[in-house]
Amino acid sequence: MDGSSKSTTLRHGGKVLVEALRTHGVERAFCVPGESYLPVLDALYDVRDELQLVVCRQEGGAAFMAEAYGKLTGKPGICLVTRGPGATNASIGVHTAMQDSSPMILFIGQVGSDVEEREAFQEIDFRRMFGQMSKWVAQIDRADRIPELISHAFHVATSGRPGPVVLSLPEDVLFGACDVRSNAQAYRRTATFPGAPQIHQLRTLLQEAKAPFVILGGGGWNAQACADFQEFAATFGLPVGCAFRRQDLFDNRHANYAGDVGIGINPKLLKRVQSADLLIAVGARLSEMTTQGYTLLDIPRPKQKLVHVHADADELGKVYQTDLAINASMPEFCAALKVLTPVNVPWKAWCEEARADYLENAKPVSIPGPLQMGQVMEILRKRLPANAIITNGAGNFATWAHRYHTYTGFRTQLAPTNGAMGYGFPAAIAAKITHPERTVVCFSGDGDYMMNGQELATAVQYGANVITLVLNNGMYGTIRMHQEREYPARVWGTELKNPDFAALARAYGAHGETVNSTNEFEPAFERALASGKPAVIEMRIDPEAITPKTTLAAIRVAALKR
């Protein structure tokens, strides 16, 4: 072969990488551009009609969008950022993907291998940085290994307990010319199946129970798995709760749904879980938020009989000893339940009471001020289509969505179980880009929104017409609540001076509204829907209305009496 013919087969590493992404079916990626991975951007230009590149305004927002995409679709969300500051900004999305068990792959441009270990410009050892917050971290040091390592990344991100993978890309590997012919095929998720004896042992435990309760949670679900489990719960008459920010795993309209087992849990539901004689945890890690700070169950041996189903064997027995541990992926476990024949159900009244408690807890309550969020939630419940996607970040404001919205099924909720502020708005953008036909509503607090509010420019650029409700109480409300409880009347470091959010939205080219009272909300929401633009509705809520259950003044009074 002469030199000229040989040169036609040479491609830079960026093209090899993008070809690998296409092999594995990637249709969308989120990024903030950086000079450290220019060859990748160059290669993405060639496939611009096949792979959409969503350019964001900050790496944290881009990483949140990729995580939300992974959570929404079950396919790894792809994020591209530059080295050093770009990677540190993006780390919040990696941490979220890890704790939320969402498939994601973060690609980071890296310094050239010829200057490694010198603390070169923006150099970080990503293996050490991301080692504990991801499933796998690697650096691709040879262009001919790009197809191999990317294939492995997709398998790791989607198999077992899903999660994030981080791949570092040295500049010389991306810029260097190479002749790489890959025979890779698209990844296939690796699943774990339950054994038949385990499934039948579960039936035996149900047959012996008088007051069972189910908690659903974790990642790795899909719509079919949710439908299969819902059928099983109906057949066996089981009351079902969902773990913290996993309320869309079971249709909240179903007669067996008993509420969310998370922050601000219904006290009656808390007692019900504690008094159950059989607890079945499916997918949930039984982590801190779901177990009320590890107080819900005795450690290490719960007084209830415990069945724990999880895709990661390391989670089984990690905190709680079980009567039956099942290492299985969610779709495979839920499908296996179909072989079980019904048992006698002496807990019919128990299930009906759990449902009644949930419905009672979902009734609106009065709060201080002219803007009544309980009534706002009723308006949304009646107005939104059943497949609407609700997103939120972290803060007390999210309680309104968690307590009062009716999640109708799989992936109608996108919320960070790791409590990451600033998540809801980028997640909403990713959801709307992925499902433009669905209504997407984001709940944000004033502090929460400002952490990624600049992504409104991204929403406008890509026509992601999400509606964001910014609950503005002029403070970091959650911290203020704890501050009043622990150090009453010593308010410091939690007050905020906010912009006019509606005017700010209009400056971005979006639609802006300001709501001061309940009767202003519905027409403002309708105008936002009709605007044909991304919309921000500032909800000016009384600072005293810190939760649906109490006020700041009441918390302070109780604390001062201690």
Residues of the chain with pLDDT > 90, as a percent, come to 93
Phi-psi map region of 547: left, alpha, beta (phi>0 left; psi -120 to 50 alpha): beta
Residues 208 and 159 in one domain: no
Mean pLDDT on 261-278: 95
Per-residue confidence (pLDDT) for residue 4, from 0 to 100: 39
For residues 133 and 207, state if they share a domain: no
Query: Residues with Cβ < 8 Å from 128, sequence gap 6 or more?
Result: none
**Last residue of one domain, picked from the residues 311, 326, 360:** 360
Asked whether the predicted pLDDT for residue 121 surpasses 80, the reply is: no
Q: Residue 181: what pLDDT?
A: 80
- Which of 402, 418, 404 minimizes the C-alpha distance to 375? 404
pLDDT at position 1 is 35
State which H helix or E strand residue 137 sits in: strand 136-139
**Domain check: are 479 and 547 in the same one?**
yes
Give 296-340 pLDDT, tens digit per residue.
999 999 999 999 999 999 999 999 999 999 999 999 999 999 999
Q: What mean pLDDT do residues 458-480 have?
A: 97
Instruction: State the residue for tokens 């009496």.
Output: 561
Rounded Cα distance between 342 and 206, Å, is 9
Burial of 431 (0-12, 13-18, 19+ CB in 10 A): buried
Domain identity same for 138 and 247: no
Q: Residue 120 above 90 pLDDT?
A: no
In the predicted structure, residue 6 carries a pLDDT above the cut 70: no
If DSSP codes are grouped into helix, strand and coil, which group holds residue 467? strand
CB-based contact 94:63 (threshold 8 Å) = yes
Tell me, what's the pLDDT at 123? Answer: 78
- Whether the pLDDT of residue 353 is over 80: the answer is yes
- CATH number for the domain spanning 507: value is 3.40.50.970
User: pLDDT tens, 148-195?
Assistant: 999 999 999 999 999 999 999 999 999 998 888 888 899 999 999 999
* CATH code, domain carrying 297: 3.40.50.1220
Averaged pLDDT, 392-406: 96
**pLDDT for 444-459, tens place per residue?**
999 999 999 999 999 9
Nearest CA to 410 among 246, 215, 281?
A: 246
Q: Is the pLDDT of residue 3 over 80?
A: no
Rounded to the nearest integer, the mean pLDDT of the chain is 95
Is the pLDDT score of 7 beyond 70?
A: no
- Assess whether pLDDT exceeds 90 at residue 141: yes
Q: What are phi and psi of 241, to 5 degrees?
A: -115, 160
Q: What does the pLDDT read at residue 116?
A: 75
Give the pLDDT of residue 450: 98
Of 399, 405, 356, 402, whose CA–CA distance to 380 is shortest?
405
pLDDT score of 8 more than 70: no
266 and 373 both lie in a single domain: no
Report percent pLDDT > 70 for the chain.
98
> Measuring CA to CA, how many Å separate 335 from each of 2, 213, 222, 339?
58, 20, 12, 8
Contact 154, 105 (CB under 8 A): yes
In a domain, 166, yes or no: yes
Same domain, 470 and 539: yes
Cα separation of 360 and 494, whole Å?
A: 33
In the chain, the number of structural domains is 3
Mean pLDDT of 510-538: 98
> 368 and 318 in one domain?
no
Mean pLDDT of 433-440: 98
Q: What is the pLDDT of residue 366?
A: 95
Angle at 276 between CA 196 and CA 549, to 5 degrees: 125
What's the one-letter identity of residue 401?
A
Reported as a pLDDT band with limits 50, 70 and 90, residue 118 is confident
Question: What is the pLDDT confidence band of residue 147, given thresholds at 50, 70 and 90?
Answer: very high
pLDDT at res. 178: 86
| pLDDT beyond 60 at 18 | yes
368 and 355, same structural domain? no
52 and 163: one domain? yes
Q: What is the mean pLDDT of residues 243-269?
A: 96
Query: What's the domain range around 143?
Result: 9-178
Q: Amino acid identity of 245? A: R
Instruction: Please state the rounded mean pLDDT for residues 536-552.
Output: 96
